């Protein structure tokens, strides 16, 4: 959907400030916004790290209630963390790639002025991305609660053997799985860890989730796509030092008998892209779909 309006009066900046060069980029973007008469909020840790306390650091909840737009400068991990924090406030997100891969931070660093200027002028494409709501239940007690934009991974520790998991979908028994772990991924996360475990790619507009086993004991266990309104319950049956991760960024240790309850979150992350953005172009660029396979040459007889 293309919109031609300019509702952005207050813009927040969040950066992967540990990366070389991010401090300079953040300061340049802050000045660029100021020249347009836009109020600038900088996330507190970002402001401190780049030495711009003069701009006033604020927490993410303040950004959620005051910002009309939030800009992530960094890699996909920066964007994922920002989405988990701000989706509930429905603050639109823009990603400027200062990392490596950049599946969801889709504005190249060298092009940020033109792309961001057009978005601020009201020319952009928008889309909503599904998030997961994950809870760990220990008996009747909730011991952990997080949101995830890419995936939820239940796995063994690196020092232990396989983990055994019982999976229920909509209160119907699905299977017991012995594996290194199990991934529950959104369409956004289908190009992350799930893809490396041979899961399918789901288009972001597809209302689905995918379950992908990691190194299953039974080779017949394969990825399966589910509707995105499915209620998924994963019980830890056996395994040493099990744990659960959201987006491989937030973690919790688990105990035998814990239930990991996964559902679609009641809100979505709202992404803004430059006009002309194409998901397929992103796949071509990041997965090298544009490169033809190298064919081996027949050997000449001696």
Q: Count other C-beta atoms under 10 Å from residue 280's C-beta.
A: 9
**Is 59 labeled as catalytic in the residue annotation?**
no
- 161 token code pair: 């053997």
* Residue spans of beta strands (DSSP E) within 80-207: 93-97, 107-108, 123-138, 141-148, 151-155, 163-169, 172-179, 181-185
Q: Are 49 and 17 in contact (CB under 8 A)?
A: yes
Cβ-contact 155, 163 below 8 angstroms: yes
Measured CA to CA, the distance from residue 103 to residue 38 in angstroms comes to 28
The 10 Å Cβ neighbour count of residue 157 is: 13
Q: Are 58 and 42 in contact (CB under 8 A)?
A: yes
Q: Which are the contacts of 277, defined by CB distance < 8 A and separation ≥ 6?
A: 106, 125
Q: Cα 259 vs. chain centroid, distance in angstroms?
A: 23
* From 54, 61, 76, 180, the catalytic residue: 76
Task: Give the Cβ contact number of residue 133 at 10 Å.
Answer: 17
Task: Return the active site residues.
Answer: 76
């Amino acid at each position: 959907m293309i919109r031609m309006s300019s509702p952005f009066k207050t813009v927040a900046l969040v950066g992967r400030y540990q990366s070389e060069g991010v401090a300079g980029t953040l300061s340049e973007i802050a000045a660029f916004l100021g020249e347009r008469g836009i109020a600038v909020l900088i996330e507190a840790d970002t402001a401190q790290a780049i030495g711009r306390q003069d701009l006033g650091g604020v927490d993410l909840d303040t950004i959620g209630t005051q910002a009309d737009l939030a800009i992530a400068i960094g890699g996909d991990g920066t964007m994922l963390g920002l989405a988990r924090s701000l989706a509930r406030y429905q603050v639109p997100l823009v990603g400027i790639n200062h990392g490596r891969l950049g599946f969801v931070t889709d504005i190249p660093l060298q092009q940020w002025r033109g792309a961001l200027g057009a978005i601020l002028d009201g020319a952009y494409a928008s889309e909503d991305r599904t998030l997961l709501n994950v809870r760990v239940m220990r008996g009747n007690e909730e011991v952990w609660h997080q949101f995830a934009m890419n995936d939820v991974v239940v796995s063994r520790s690196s020092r232990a053997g396989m983990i055994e998991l019982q999976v229920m979908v909509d209160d119907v028994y699905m299977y017991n799985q012995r594996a290194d772990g199990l991934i529950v991924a959104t369409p956004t996360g289908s190009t992350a860890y799930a893809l490396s475990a041979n899961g399918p790619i789901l288009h972001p507009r597809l209302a689905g989730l995918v379950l992908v086993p990691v190194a299953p004991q039974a080779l017949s266990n394969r990825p399966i796509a589910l509707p995105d309104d499915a209620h998924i319950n994963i019980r830890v049956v056996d395994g040493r030092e099990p744990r659960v991760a959201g987006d491989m960024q937030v973690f919790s240790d688990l105990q035998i008998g814990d239930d990991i309850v996964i559902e679609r979150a009641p809100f979505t992350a709202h992404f803004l892209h430059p006009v002309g953005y194409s998901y397929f172009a992103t796949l071509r660029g990041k997965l090298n779909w544009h490169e033809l396979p190298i064919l081996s040459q027949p050997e000449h007889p001696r």
